[in-house]
Amino acid sequence: MRHLPILLAFLIAQSFSSISYAQIGKGGTPLSFQNEFVKQESYEIVQLAAPDMNIIEQQDIQAAQNGLFERSGVSVKANLSIETHGTWHYLPDGSRVWRLGIKIPEAIALTVVYDQFYIPPGAKLFLYNELKTQIIGAFDNDNNPSGGLFATELVEGDIITLEYQEPKHVAGKVKLDIAELCYAYRGITHLRKYNPTKTTGWGTSDACEVNVNCSPVGDNWQDEKRSVAEIWLRDGGSWGWCTGSLINNTSHDGTPYFLTANHCGGSTASAADFQVWEFYFNYEAAGCPNPAVEPSYHTLIGCQKRSVGPIAGGSDFLLVELNTTPGITINPYYNGWDRRTITTTVPGVGIHHPSGDIKKISTYNTRSIAGNINFGIGTTAPNSMWHTIFVANANGHGVTEGGSSGSPLFNSNGLTIGTLTGGNSSCTNQSGDNYYGAMFYHCLLYTSPSPR
Q: Is 140 a catalytic residue?
A: no
Closest CA to 347 of 301, 288, 391, 406: 391
**Strand segments (E) across 104-252:** 109-118, 124-129, 135-139, 150-156, 159-166, 175-184, 210-211, 228-235, 238-246
Q: Determine contact, residues 125/119, Cβ cutoff 8 Å.
A: yes
- Distances in whole angstroms, Cα of residue 345 to Cα of each of 216, 290, 293, 360, 411: 20, 31, 37, 21, 6
Catalytic site residue from 263, 298, 353, 442: 263
Rounded to whole angstroms, how far apart are CA atoms 46 and 41? 16
Rounded to whole angstroms, how far apart are CA atoms 25 and 43? 24
Question: How are beta strands 96-103 and 45-47 bridged, if at all?
Answer: parallel
- Distances in whole angstroms, Cα of residue 50 to Cα of each of 74, 79, 86, 104: 10, 15, 20, 6
Handedness of CA 66, 67, 69, 72 (dihedral sign): positive
Q: Determine contact, residues 221/284, Cβ cutoff 8 Å.
A: no
Q: What is the dihedral of CA 418, 422, 428, 429, to 10 degrees?
A: -70
- Measured from the Cβ of residue 374, the count of other Cβ atoms closer than 10 Å reads 11
Q: DSSP string of 392-429? A: -BTTB-----TT-TT-EEE-TTS-EEEEEEEE--BTTB
Q: Is 177 a catalytic residue?
A: no
- Distances in whole angstroms, Cα of residue 410 to Cα of each of 21, 345, 348: 29, 9, 5
Catalytic site residue from 158, 316, 338, 357: 316
Handedness of CA 439, 443, 447, 452 (dihedral sign): positive
Q: Is 190 a catalytic residue?
A: no
Q: DSSP string of 338-407? A: -------S--EEEEE-GGG-S-EEEEEEEEEEE---B-SS-BPPTT-EEEEEEE-BTTB-----TT-TT-
Quickly list H helices, 206-326: 271-275
Catalytic site residue from 362, 405, 407, 425: 405
Q: What residues are paired with 254 via a beta bridge?
A: none
Q: What are phi and psi of 273, to 5 degrees?
A: -60, -50
Which active-site residues does the annotation give?
Answer: 263, 316, 405
